[in-house]
Amino acid sequence: MVLQMPIQWRPAMSVGHEGIDADHKSLIAIINEFEASPDFAHAEAAARKLYRYTEEHFLREELLQRACGYPTGANHHLEHQGILANLKKIVQRHFLIPGKSDVAEAISATTWLMHEWIVDHVVKRDPTMAPFLHRATARDWSAVPLGQRSHCGL
């Protein structure tokens, strides 16, 4: 298992929207919590929390993109769907099938995906929204409160 360094929030990760930035900071905290899991039970709970929060964040971000006229929102949605599909597959394989893997293997696989997501999506892709986000209102962001989404059984 290759241990990753905990992800640290940096100003360069900001998209200039308080809600999205707060969500990204929360996701980073959950990823770091997951990676530091001392045992399988903690890892499983953190993995489920990570999936649910990621799904909710993506929904909120996509609604905001539509509200502010983000022109490549459809492609962004497809990227989100790919990340969720990969995360769901990893969570199912490592946490929902008893005896399928050990905690080190589960943490390694999920952490790798999340670090790649943070680098490739949050740092490189999400900042392209910044010029459009000034059009969004607080009402646009709060349209989908956390906890309002189906979690695909995770």
Distance CA 51, CA 59 (A): 12
Confidence of residue 107 (pLDDT cuts 50, 70, 90): confident
Phi, psi (degrees; rounded to nearest 5) at 108: -60, -50
pLDDT value of residue 1: 41
Mean pLDDT calculated for residue range 127-145: 71
- Tell me the pLDDT tens digit for each residue of 56-104: 999 989 988 888 889 999 999 999 999 899 888 888 888 777 666 677 7
Structure tokens at 146: 């956390």
The answer for residues whose C-beta is within 8 angstroms of residue 85's C-beta and 6 or more apart is none
- The model carries a pTM of 0.81
Average pLDDT, the chain: 80
Domains belonging to the chain, first-starting first, are 17-137 (1.20.120.50)
Distance CA 18, CA 74 (A): 23
